[in-house]
Chain A
Amino acid sequence: MPTIQDYHRWPDEHGRFGNYGGSYVAETLMAPLAELGEAYERLRQDAGFLAELDRDLQHYVGRPSPVYHAERLSQHVGGARILLKREDLNHTGAHKINNTVGQALVARHMGKRRIIAETGAGQHGVASATVAARLGMQCVVYMGAVDIERQKINVYRMKLLGAEVVPVTSGSKTLKDALNEAMRDWVTNVADTFYIIGTVAGPHPYPKMVRDFNAIVGREARAQVLAQYGRLPDVLTACVGGGSNAIGLFHAFLNDADVRIVGAEAAGEGIATGHHAASLAAGRPGVLHGNRTYVLCDDNGQITETHSISAGLDYPGVGPEHAFLKDAGRAEYVGVTDDEAMEAFHLLARTEGILAALESSHAVAQAMKLARELPKDGIVLCNLSGRGDKDVHTIAAREGVEV
């Protein structure tokens, strides 16, 4: 009998997931990363820390989030049962808070008083501003000028929470540039600053740490589906920007060889048009933002500008663990277009009374495709990573409606 590969043993001590991951950063950051890595390794095995984290997740974030059978959506699609893991019901409206609550506790244990973060859709910025306010820390959020324009509500939410939002005008003025700028801040203020990266990208230990903090999504969902249906789902799906909500859902199931795993990337106007953000489906291995992973770049190695209707998926890289899972054949990554996501958004709103984030609408669109391929008693488990309130202006503008 072939031995089942243990996907839970990654990354190795250097932060590598096979050929991917690692710490590709300037020398100045090697020491703070080592310091963070040591602190995190110690804390993640510390009963006191874990109890504190559990308390916050339960009483502040509102966990566990439900697994909800979207019956009318499933009926409309006419295939398998679509179950939604309701991360949109978390405090601040997305899965991002799972990670920021965890990292903020790490920051406090390390004695750091200043939090910085990058944000695309603004959900991670809001989640960072939220935990900083709660712990009485200073918070600076870097956000691309283009994203500031399309996510105005979240910009204002961050300000209400006491954070400073710094517009980033270099490069493509989106998430990748915000990440560059946050790294530049960190390298300049390493002594007192904690950088809360918002997805499973960046140098080691971030891809591991952010995954661990989001992995509660899959642990809960696995137990919930087993309890409610007496078996595991046939297939999982989640949207993939940097990949944190996706790995959060997938991780607990990686060693369940019978559970199929499909990540939905932003295909924008279609992969063939070149206007997309599908790093895994259409990119190649390279080095960006401190790790080796799949990136979208030209033959000169310049990172290319991406397009997605959803700011949170508009990123030319992806977390290294996804690159590893793709090459290992454990997970598949497919593109979902802007139009398909919009259609799924409307359908979910009208059949279930749920306004999903545009990012999450990509996952819903993919769940619908997967449900069609399965019999009625099949189960598709979809991560509904966030709620759509932040997107109503974008949607209205796209549909020519004045709000």
Chain B
Amino acid sequence: MSRIDRRFAKLKAAGRTGLIPFVTAGDPAPAHMVALMHALVDAGADLIELGVPFSDPMADGPVIQHASERAIAQGVGLKEVLDWVGEFRGRDADTPIVLMGYLNPVEIHGYARFAQEAVAAGVDGVLLVDCPLEESAVLQPLRVAGLQQILLAAPTTAPSRMAQLCGSAEGFLYYVSFAGITGAAHLSTGDIAARVADIRTRAKAPVAVGFGIRDAASAKAIAGFADAVVIGSALVERLSGATDAAEITARAQGFLQPIRAALDAH
């Protein structure tokens, strides 16, 4: 059983909804990245999505675009990201880590080399936004090495394709709550509920819902029908500009704790 599978099994046994924060690796401060990751866990994160910065984040809104630009300007690349995961693992052997990003940095790094280094660092899965199931043959070395490929499903996904995604899902299936980019806010809970309920009966893996979740209220609205919620842009926005470790930790905790409480009160 993978670290991600164990984590979701534990959540299920406890009857809790998982909390998955997304942060862009290297933002707001490369020097305090590992401290930030531990702070997320202390504030109640069940799994961390670490964004690998990319120069052309086609599926991201301005908040994550700018976070990526800042991280790249500070020289953050895959090597730094993997080093941080390795360092994080020194103190946390349980919290799963999924690298989220785009294909080109992995392609240029080399699939086999990336797979080996990521597993050695303690990465559990990858969510490559621009690598749909149809193109995922290139990820074979990652699978062989034991990295789980987190797939996305969207409101536009056709029924036949949804069946295919549900059948191929591993780790968890990430349901994108609306057609759009990260950071936009049109959460429409009613539409999502029916769709996610249907997917959950069919998917081989738990279902996390992301896009449009910004705070305790929106997280709670989703918690009723999802196995986990993903929160990205709102957290990245809250963190941006913080420079020292204490400030970063305080902001991360101040942001996540009310959400954790709302999910647990559910």
A residues whose Cβ falls under 8 Å from a Cβ of B: 14, 22-32, 34, 170-171, 176-177, 180, 183-184, 187-188, 190-191, 284-290, 292, 295, 297, 299-303
> Could you tell me if A302 and B105 are in contact, using CB atoms closer than 8 angstroms?
yes
> Could you tell me if A286 and B108 are in contact, using CB atoms closer than 8 angstroms?
yes
Once bound together, how far apart are the Cα atoms of A27 and B58, in whole Å?
A: 12
B residues whose Cβ falls under 8 Å from a Cβ of A: 53-59, 61-62, 65-66, 69, 72, 77-79, 102-109, 129-132, 134-135, 151-158, 161, 176, 179-181, 184
Once bound together, how far apart are the Cα atoms of A191 and B153, in whole Å?
A: 17
Once bound together, how far apart are the Cα atoms of A330 and B6, in whole Å?
A: 52
> Could you tell me if B180 and A30 are in contact, using CB atoms closer than 8 angstroms?
no
- Return the 10 tightest CB-CB contacts between A and B, nearest first: A301-B105, A300-B77, A301-B108, A27-B152, A28-B154, A31-B156, A302-B55, A301-B104, A188-B180, A26-B59
Query: Which residues on the A side are within 8 Å of B179 (C-beta)?
Result: 28, 187-188, 190-191
Task: Report the nearest A residue to B161, measured CB to CB.
Answer: A30
> Could you tell me if B58 and A183 are in contact, using CB atoms closer than 8 angstroms?
yes
Query: Which residues on the B side are within 8 Å of A176 (C-beta)?
Result: 56
Among A188, A287, A302, which residue has its beta carbon within 8 angstroms of that of B130? A287
Once bound together, how far apart are the Cα atoms of A14 and B131, in whole Å?
A: 14
Query: Which residues on the A side are within 8 Å of B65 (C-beta)?
Result: 170-171
Once bound together, how far apart are the Cα atoms of A171 and B53, in whole Å?
A: 13
> Could you tell me if B109 and A301 are in contact, using CB atoms closer than 8 angstroms?
yes
Query: Which residues on the B side are within 8 Å of A302 (C-beta)?
Result: 53-55, 72, 77, 105
A22-B135 in contact given A301-B104, A301-B108 (Cβ < 8 Å): yes
Query: Which residues on the B side are within 8 Å of A28 (C-beta)?
Result: 59, 152, 154-156, 176, 179-180
Query: Which residues on the B side are within 8 Å of A177 (C-beta)?
Result: 56
> Could you tell me if A171 and B103 are in contact, using CB atoms closer than 8 angstroms?
no
Once bound together, how far apart are the Cα atoms of A32 and B161, in whole Å?
A: 13
Minimum distance in angstroms from A364 CB to a CB of chain B = 31
> Could you tell me if A24 and B180 are in contact, using CB atoms closer than 8 angstroms?
no
A170-B104 in contact given A24-B130, A26-B130, A187-B181 (Cβ < 8 Å): no
Among B108, B176, B180, which residue has its beta carbon within 8 angstroms of that of A27? B176
A288-B104 in contact given A187-B180, A188-B184, A190-B156 (Cβ < 8 Å): yes
Once bound together, how far apart are the Cα atoms of A188 and B155, in whole Å?
A: 11
Query: Which residues on the B side are within 8 Å of A14 (C-beta)?
Result: 134
Once bound together, how far apart are the Cα atoms of A371 and B216, in whole Å?
A: 70
Task: Report the nearest A residue to B165, measured CB to CB.
Answer: A27
Q: A22-B134, A26-B129, A180-B56 are in contact. List 7 more A-B contacts (CB 8 A).
A: A25-B132, A188-B180, A287-B107, A292-B107, A295-B104, A300-B79, A302-B53
Once bound together, how far apart are the Cα atoms of A14 and B77, in whole Å?
A: 31
Minimum distance in angstroms from B61 CB to a CB of chain A = 7
Minimum distance in angstroms from B127 CB to a CB of chain A = 11
Query: Which residues on the A side are within 8 Å of B154 (C-beta)?
Result: 26-28, 30-31
Query: Which residues on the A side are within 8 Å of B77 (C-beta)?
Result: 299-302
Among B131, B157, B161, B181, which residue has its beta carbon within 8 angstroms of that of A24? B131
> Could you tell me if B158 and A31 are in contact, using CB atoms closer than 8 angstroms?
yes
> Could you tell me if A287 and B104 are in contact, using CB atoms closer than 8 angstroms?
yes
Once bound together, how far apart are the Cα atoms of A29 and B61, in whole Å?
A: 16
Q: List 20 A-B contacts (CB under 8 A).
A: A22-B134, A23-B134, A24-B130, A26-B154, A28-B59, A28-B179, A30-B132, A30-B134, A170-B62, A180-B58, A284-B108, A287-B130, A288-B56, A288-B104, A289-B56, A299-B77, A300-B79, A301-B78, A301-B105, A302-B53
Task: Report the nearest B residue to A24, measured CB to CB.
Answer: B130
Q: Which of B65, B158, B179 has the most CB of A within 10 A?
A: B179
> Could you tell me if A286 and B104 are in contact, using CB atoms closer than 8 angstroms?
yes
Once bound together, how far apart are the Cα atoms of A177 and B58, in whole Å?
A: 9
Query: Which residues on the A side are within 8 Å of B107 (C-beta)?
Result: 285-287, 292, 301
Among A22, A30, A297, A300, which residue has its beta carbon within 8 angstroms of that of B78? A300
Among B53, B58, B155, B180, which residue has its beta carbon within 8 angstroms of that of A289? B58
Query: Which residues on the A side are within 8 Å of B153 (C-beta)?
Result: 27
> Could you tell me if B158 and A24 are in contact, using CB atoms closer than 8 angstroms?
no
Once bound together, how far apart are the Cα atoms of A189 and B248, in whole Å?
A: 36
Once bound together, how far apart are the Cα atoms of A23 and B138, in whole Å?
A: 13
Query: Which residues on the B side are within 8 Å of A29 (C-beta)?
Result: 156
Q: Which of A170, A289, A295 has the most CB of B within 10 A?
A: A170
Once bound together, how far apart are the Cα atoms of A362 and B69, in whole Å?
A: 32
Task: Report the nearest B residue to A295, measured CB to CB.
Answer: B104
> Could you tell me if B130 and A171 are in contact, using CB atoms closer than 8 angstroms?
no
Once bound together, how far apart are the Cα atoms of A190 and B104, in whole Å?
A: 25
Task: Report the nearest B residue to A204, measured CB to CB.
Answer: B134
Query: Which residues on the B side are within 8 Å of A289 (C-beta)?
Result: 56, 58
Query: Which residues on the A side are within 8 Å of B184 (C-beta)?
Result: 188
Among B56, B58, B108, which residue has its beta carbon within 8 angstroms of that of A26? B58
Once bound together, how far apart are the Cα atoms of A299 and B69, in whole Å?
A: 16
Once bound together, how far apart are the Cα atoms of A13 and B23, in whole Å?
A: 37
Once bound together, how far apart are the Cα atoms of A292 and B135, in whole Å?
A: 10
Among A31, A284, A290, which residue has its beta carbon within 8 angstroms of that of B157? A31
> Could you tell me if A187 and B54 are in contact, using CB atoms closer than 8 angstroms?
no
Once bound together, how far apart are the Cα atoms of A24 and B103, in whole Å?
A: 8
Among A22, A32, A191, A303, which residue has its beta carbon within 8 angstroms of that of B104? A303
Query: Which residues on the A side are within 8 Å of B53 (C-beta)?
Result: 302
A297-B157 in contact given A27-B132, A27-B176 (Cβ < 8 Å): no
